[in-house]
Amino acid sequence: MRQPELLAPAGDLEKLEAALAYGADAVYLGGDHFGLRALASNFSLPQLKQAKDLVHAAGKKIYLTLNASLRPAELAALNGYLEELRPLELDAYIVADPGVFATVRRVDPAREIHLSTQVNTTNGASAEFWRAAGGKRVNLARELSLEEIRAVRATTTAEIEVFVHGAQCVAYSGRCLLSAALVDRSANSGLCAQSCRWRYALMEEKRPGQYLSIEEDSRGSYIMNSRDLCLVDYLPQLVEAGVDSFKIEGRMKGRYYVAAVTRVYRAALDCYLADPEGYRCDPVWRQELEKISHRPYGNGFLTEAQDAQVHSGDSIYRRSYDFVGVVLSLGENGRGLVEGRNRFFPGEDLELIGPGMRQVTFPVGSMASEKEQPLTVAQPNARILMQLPPGSQPGDLLRRQVASPD
């Protein structure tokens, strides 16, 4: 059976390493210029070279986002940037602007081009247009249903990619003017202020200062907020529809998010590909996705008869676990060196997770500094010596269940 690619975000080198370790086939990341996550920890040219070497050494692929919409004065700078990028021989550029597309074709014709969701490809004729122009892959618009994805697949030979997990925008394929209108930060240039997720109220002009409820709760009103996308239950249908790449959103998210989400989709894909006839969606996968910080989940526009995807409660993140540490190394007798990310204490129960859906709950015993000084608390960024469960490996993550707000 054709094996689709699992494509994970890499907001920085640490997250890139997590994506590779936890099962991604490819990663996408941004450079210093022309991407749509200008406020992320993007990669300099030397860092891109380091990232490419790591990814290729693992036998995987690396894609660079150049998907901003450029103004006239920026095109000359793009030429120079592409000249600097060309020797790196990255696997593909992700673009949206036709002018950027044409410039890449001229300056770096050997590079694959993937069309961003910003292009808003909603039919096979559009996908074929981009393929004929030299594009290798199109990321389909998130507005498409499963049946429409099948129709696109039947009418193009271009590779097709879909988002399967992560945040969504109240915008047309992410093309939004609200942020620019309110605070002069263009979402289409990578500077989105997430204005759609601010608190808003209604005021009648003859009653100034009186803010009227719009399904308001104690935390405010949220009238332009979408649910997070979660399609783990629909992977078989997407594979059968002919999707070539499953993309996880989240270059602004943390290492724990990248690892936890990637490992679930890796497990689900592998399970289906190994035995399509006997496949069943494991409830553990959805339970694990509930353990990351997220807004309420939905399946977007994939199926018909959906409830409204925008409503007052959707801006509130749900968080049931805190990411508290990373295993750096293992010594004798299971004693490991851990880098703290949040505080934790002796006597607490932590959960260790690793690639391949490894996970185990264990109590924290005595802790010490690298200089063997006893510790009564593990602090963020501190290095802690502590006993870890059997089978622990470098790169495993530690998390702690958050107390219920009730």
247-292 tens-digit pLDDT: 999 888 999 999 999 999 999 999 999 999 999 999 999 999 999 9
> Is the Cβ–Cβ distance between 299 and 231 less than 8 Å?
yes
In the block, tokens 């998907």 appear at: 67
For residue 216, is pLDDT > 80? no
How far, in whole angstroms, is CA 391 from its chain's centroid? Answer: 28
Residues 259 and 366 in one domain: no
Closest to 31 (Cα-Cα) out of 17, 20, 46: 46
Mean pLDDT in residue range 195-206: 73
176-194 tens-digit pLDDT: 767 777 777 876 666 777 7
> Is the Cβ–Cβ distance between 125 and 151 less than 8 Å?
no
Q: Is residue 19 part of a domain?
A: yes
Residues 109 and 246 in one domain: yes
Q: Is residue 312 part of a domain?
A: no
Q: What is the pLDDT of residue 186?
A: 72
What is the number of structural domains in the chain?
Answer: 2
Residue 85 CB: number of other CB atoms within 10 A?
21
Buried b (16+ CB within 10 A) or exposed e, 293-314: bbbbbbbbbbeeeeeebeebeb
Residues 232 and 349 in one domain: no
For residue 386, is pLDDT > 90? yes
Closest to 331 (Cα-Cα) out of 380, 383, 378: 383
For 360, the domain range is 321-401
| Structure tokens that stand for 336 in this block | 């490991």
154-165 tens-digit pLDDT: 999 999 999 999
Mean pLDDT in residue range 222-249: 90
Cα 241 from Cα 248, distance rounded (Å): 18
For all residues of the chain together, what is the average pLDDT? 89
- Beta strands, E only, 134-269: 137-139, 159-166, 202-203, 211-212, 228-230, 245-248
Residue 19 CB: number of other CB atoms within 10 A?
31
CATH of residue 60's domain is 3.20.20.70
313-356 tens-digit pLDDT: 555 677 899 999 999 999 988 899 999 999 999 999 999 999 99
For residue 233, is pLDDT > 90? yes
Residues 281 and 331 in one domain: no
Residue bearing the bigger pLDDT, 224 or 291: 291
104-123 tens-digit pLDDT: 999 999 999 999 998 999 99
Residues 274 and 354 in one domain: no
